[in-house]
Amino acid sequence: MTDTYKLVIGGQLVDAASEETFDSIDPSTGKAFAAVAKGSPEDARKAAEAARKAFDEGPWPKMKGRERAAALLKVADLVKQNAGPLAELEAKDAGHTIRMAKGADIGMVISTFRVFAEIAAKENDEEPLARNPGSMNYVRYEPVGVCVGITPWNFPIQMAAWKIAPAVAAGNTVVIKPATYTPLTTLEIGRLCLEAGIPEGVVNVVAGSGVAVGEELVGSPLVDKVAFTGSTEVGRRIMELASSNIKKCTLELGGKSASVVLDDVDLDYAVDGAMWGVFFHNGQVCSAGTRLLVQRPILDEFLAELTKRTEGIRVGPALDPASDEGPIVSETQLETVERYVGIGRDEGADVLTGGERAVVEGHEGGFYYRPTILGNVKSGMRVAQEEIFGPVLVVIPFEEEADAVAMANDSIYGLAGGVWSSDNGRAVKVAEQIRTGTVWINDYHMINPRYPFGGYKQSGIGREHGEMGFNEYRQVKHIHVDLGGPSRARHPWWDLTVPKRKEPSAPSPETPGSKPSG
């Protein structure tokens, strides 16, 4: 790995057309540590053209699923071989603690490439033939075309895998635009895809601003699909731009997920779980359990223990293996977190712990914030409704399970949530009433590339992962073959006007408009 990172376009590592670069900042120190080629609309166009050419003329879309699978497995192997340097790079660029980068990020990237290799290798491009009277029919799945993936700063390397693996497994070509704060590991994954032998133009990565590069790609007539992860606000803009040529869209947007703690819970276990649900990666997680709903009889005991344990969380530099939490990704995001805690105070919330920047000796320029719990919160407050994307938990008591369900659903979002109880049956009853794409019971953040992930309401459209996520990257074609033979004198449309049948017949399995049986 070098300290100047290039774009990946058309199978080459290239400088930006303008030859400009921008700095990547290490949030643990606040200092620049790498230079990155600064993509512009011109670079975006070149990447879209390369992806278009690779799709229209290249071998990738026509290859067998098992051949594509072999290349994906090779990427997974290369990620494994480069696990140490990639994890360190993610820690420096995105502020992931080195424990998390090694333990969670790299593992997820490898399994994402492997799972989609497995799905592609099933050769499930065609459904079995169905013979109907007079015709033969089948359904065929084909790649969508050129797919753009726009990713956020919170899980850069994982998001790169989430966007690249299913798209290329299904035979598409891609252009990825990583977040400006955190482009490095995505550029590295692009480079590893070339090293794995994925043909030129199939995987392209263009770093650069959302407005310059992102909008050019999303509006491009060369592009067939956009997969976006980020804020709901930008998701709206993506939908607008994608409407220009009716691109397929999958959107994974914001969240304000509820973790519901029932009064029969194992308190020791659930306190840890609630902390994990919200403070994992400083709460910079779309599915974080940022609203903790606790049943009244256990509220005081639960809060006392939760506050005590939260105060024991060690905030420190990302590369220090002793750090439980690293820095917030950027000065801007740190200010957003501070602003929201101020809003909470003004709304009448009590700061039970945290509520200020953390000072980390020797790293005074870093962007650190203490894990924060806000009590005395009502469901209608802004801190209980808006996505903060930082280490801030709001706690709201409830009396009956129905109240918890109503509050959990009192949100414009519907991405995830948790239920904590010693009674699985009781927990499942609550989980089934929460209008979100995922609910974890007595667990949290268990995202698995085999199972669908995505949102209800303003948390998004479509699903990532599993067969369902794979199918978001495929078109569906019905092929109908007439078996009437050359003896048929005329085309069948004339027949629609003369349905003269004396006896009522059983409904045909063919739809109106299909050919009459010979």
| 104-130 exposure pattern, b = at least 16 Cβ within 10 A, e = fewer | bbbebbbbbbbbbbebbbeeebeeeee
Which letter does DSSP use for residue 464 in this model? Answer: B
In the residue annotation, 252 being an active-site residue is answered as yes
Maximum C-alpha span of the chain: 92
Smallest distance, Å, CB 332 to ligand NDP?
A: 8
d(CA 168, CA 422): 42
Q: Report in angstroms how near the CB of residue 422 gets to ligand NDP at its nearest.
A: 32
Residue from the set 41, 214, 371, 417 that interacts with ligand NDP by CB under 6 A: 214
Three-state DSSP at 476 gives: strand
Binding segment toward ligand NDP, per CB under 6 A, in 145-153, 292-300, 463-471, 480-488:
145-153
Closer to ligand NDP at the Cβ: 237 or 429? 237
Nearest residue to 474 via CA among 172, 251, 136, 114: 172
For Cα atoms 434, 440, 446, give the angle at the middle one, nearest 5 degrees: 140
User: In whole angstroms, how close is the CB of 241 to ligand NDP at the nearest point?
Assistant: 7
Active site residue 286: yes
**What does the chain come to in residues?**
518
Residue tagged active-site, from 252, 401, 464, 472: 252
State the residue number with the nearest CB to ligand NDP: 210
Identify which range of 65-73, 129-137, 223-231, 291-299 contacts ligand NDP by CB under 6 A.
223-231
Q: Structure tokens of 167?
A: 């798209």
Amino acid residing at 391: P
Segment interacting with ligand NDP (CB under 6 A) among 36-44, 147-155, 269-277, 297-305? 147-155
Q: Is 157 in the site for ligand NDP (CB under 6 A)?
A: no
In the window 333-352, what residues touch ligand NDP (CB under 6 A)? 336
Write out the two tokens for 237.
């803009």
295 Cβ contact list (under 8 Å, min separation 6): 261, 262, 263, 397, 398, 399, 404
The catalytically annotated residue of 147, 193, 249, 286 is 286
Closer to ligand NDP by Cβ: residue 302 or 340:
340
Contacts (CB under 6 A) with ligand NDP, residues 259-288: 286
Question: Which residue in the set 26, 49, 90, 215 belongs to the binding site for ligand NDP (CB under 6 A)?
Answer: 215
Give the contacts of 34 (CB within 8 A, at least 6 positions apart).
3, 4, 5, 23, 24, 92, 93, 184
DSSP codes of every residue in 26-55: ETTTTEEEEEEE---HHHHHHHHHHHHHHH
Among the listed ranges 175-183, 357-365, 468-476, 510-518, the one in contact with ligand NDP (CB under 6 A) is: 175-183
C-beta closer to ligand NDP: residue 137 or 336: 336
Does 473 help bind ligand NDP (rule: CB under 6 A)? no
Contact string 225-244 vs ligand NDP (x = CB under 6 A): ----xxx--x--xx------
| Beta bridge partner(s), residue 146 | 173
- What residues are labeled active site? 252, 286
By CB under 6 A, name the binding residues for ligand NDP.
150-154, 177, 179-180, 209-211, 214-215, 218, 229-231, 234, 237-238, 253-254, 286, 336, 387, 389
